[in-house]
């Protein structure tokens, strides 16, 4: 099948490469010529495990090409809209300018029978607004939300845990849904469930999924606050309640909270849309979910300050991590960098290390000091703060080795991923999040 992918950022580049790798003929379209040049050479403009290899092989096969000219999307049977929907600068709502601009550019090149598949995360009701414009060309709009995890995006695209396609309940919608079944035939044959829904439900799925995930993370962080006040251990608490099959242990890891370019802005946009629909009370809890998440960053700062005697002015602190999560170079709304900047604002001499995210972090916060080499970053630090749970820090850095690099003996575990007993046995003052 011939496809176009409009927007070759994180979502679009992965989707285009994955679809080409399973045999489709794919053209990626983006307005950034630098990005297009890198992708056409088989190089991703961001770090995602396995993507460079997938891009290179797909480009070499001739099935994957890229262009800055939207006219080159003409002739594709399915057009995936994969542009960003950032938070509006003056509100919590999603900014849909890029969605509408991409659709405006694509409409003149659509042909009767084409399918436009929205993958961008949008407020419910967006599809109903634009479906008529697509229908005027003889094409059909469906909504096909993405559920990618950064660091696992290639796997999640090739072997998704579910495929959701929303379409109108008419013959055109049924035909378009069947075309998406054909597009994803490989994943379906491998066991990925295919759920056909109406447009509104498909739009709601992504927002609802992110709202639930954020709530689960903030719930255990709220329990961490209670554990800190009572002397309990939130990690053992999570183990105990996680054995309940109705709850499960995944994403019950207390720490400095979630970040990134999707989860925070998506739950805010979800709540904002609910308010527009007159149902703000239904998701009012998401405001507290957001607040709990942000409070954990300040708590990590307080742990460092208290451990250093009440002041960090002139004290050398090393942040282990810059990306918002491991296996990614994404620093958008990174809790790691937020904590680093707060400590710097209090007068600390902050050094940040990360195996992948330093270039992006430097662009965002050039005032911080960066060292890619972990050991050089640790040398002479008075306190270590683990903020991104890369294996380089959580598994490969032993407390004895860290002690050989610095006389400092304070470690703040912002992800509760270190062994407290092992670090304390080597003379370190270990401080976790919600742990005694």
* Exposed/middle/buried for residue 397 (C-beta within 10 Å: 0-12, 13-18, 19+): buried
- Nearest Cα neighbor of 320 from 392, 258, 259 is 392
* Exposed/middle/buried for residue 193 (C-beta within 10 Å: 0-12, 13-18, 19+): exposed
- Nearest Cα neighbor of 236 from 217, 222, 218, 249 is 249
Distances (CA, A) of 207 to 94, 166, 273, 279: 11, 14, 10, 15
Residue 404 sits at φ, ψ, to 5 deg, of -75, -15
| Helix, strand or coil, per DSSP, at residue 100 | helix
Set 17, 73, 127, 262: catalytic member: 262
H helices of 118-198, in order, are: 126-135, 153-158, 171-183, 185-189
Please say whether the dihedral angle defined by the alpha carbons of residues 12, 13, 14 and 19, taken in this order, is positive or negative. Answer: positive
Element (H, E) at 242: helix 234-242
DSSP state of 282: G
How crowded is the C-beta side of 221, counted as CA atoms within 13 Å? 26
Contacts by 271-278, CB closer than 8 A, 24 or more apart: 271/92, 272/91, 272/92, 272/93, 272/94, 272/123, 273/93, 273/94, 273/123, 273/124, 273/125, 273/207, 276/93, 276/123, 277/124, 277/125
Active site residue 262: yes
| Helix, strand or coil, per DSSP, at residue 406 | coil
Please say whether the dihedral angle defined by the alpha carbons of residues 20, 143, 162 and 214, taken in this order, is positive or negative. Answer: positive
DSSP state of 88: P
Residues belonging to the active site: 262
């Amino acid at each position: 099948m011939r496809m176009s992918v409009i927007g070759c950022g994180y979502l679009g580049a992965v989707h285009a490469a994955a679809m080409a790798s399973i045999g489709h003929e794919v053209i990626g379209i983006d307005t950034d010529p630098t990005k297009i040049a890198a992708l056409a050479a088989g190089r991703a403009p961001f770090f995602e495990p396995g993507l460079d290899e997938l891009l290179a092989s797909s480009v070499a096969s001739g099935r994957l090409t890229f262009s800055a000219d939207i006219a080159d999307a003409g002739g594709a049977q399915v057009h995936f809209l994969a542009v960003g929907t950032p938070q509006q600068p003056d509100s919590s709502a999603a900014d849909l300018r890029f969605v509408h601009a991409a659709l405006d550019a694509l409409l003149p090149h659509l042909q009767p029978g084409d399918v436009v598949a929205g993958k961008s995360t949008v407020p419910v009701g967006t599809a109903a607004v634009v479906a008529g414009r697509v229908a005027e060309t003889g094409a059909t709009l469906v909504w096909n939300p993405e559920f990618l995890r950064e660091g696992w995006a290639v796997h999640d695209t090739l072997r998704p845990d579910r495929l959701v396609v929303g379409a109108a309940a008419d013959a055109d919608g049924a035909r378009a849904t069947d075309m998406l079944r054909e597009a994803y035939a490989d994943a379906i044959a491998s066991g990925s469930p295919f759920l056909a829904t109406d447009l509104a439900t498909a739009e709601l799925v992504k927002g609802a999924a992110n709202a639930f995930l954020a709530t689960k993370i903030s719930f255990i962080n709220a329990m961490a606050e209670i554990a800190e006040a009572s002397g309990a251990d939130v990690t053992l608490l999570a183990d105990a309640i996680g054995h309940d099959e109705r709850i499960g242990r995944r994403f019950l890891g207390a720490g400095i909270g979630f970040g990134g370019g999707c989860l925070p802005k998506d739950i805010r946009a979800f709540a904002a849309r609910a308010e527009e629909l007159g149902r703000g009370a239904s998701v009012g809890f998401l405001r507290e979910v957001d607040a709990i998440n942000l409070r954990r960053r300040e708590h990590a700062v307080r742990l460092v300050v208290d451990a250093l005697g009440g002041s960090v002015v002139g004290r050398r602190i090393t942040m282990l991590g810059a990306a918002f999560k491991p296996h990614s170079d994404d620093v958008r709304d990174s809790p790691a960098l937020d904590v680093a900047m707060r400590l710097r604002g209090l007068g600390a001499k902050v050094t940040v290390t990360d195996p992948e995210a330093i270039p992006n972090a430097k662009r965002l916060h050039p005032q911080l000091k960066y060292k890619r080499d972990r050991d050089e970053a640790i040398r002479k630090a008075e306190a270590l703060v683990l903020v991104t749970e890369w294996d380089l820090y959580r598994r490969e850095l032993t407390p004895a080795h860290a002690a050989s690099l610095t006389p400092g003996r304070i470690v703040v575990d912002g992800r509760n991923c270190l062994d407290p007993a092992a670090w304390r046995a080597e003379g370190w003052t270990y401080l976790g999040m919600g742990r005694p």
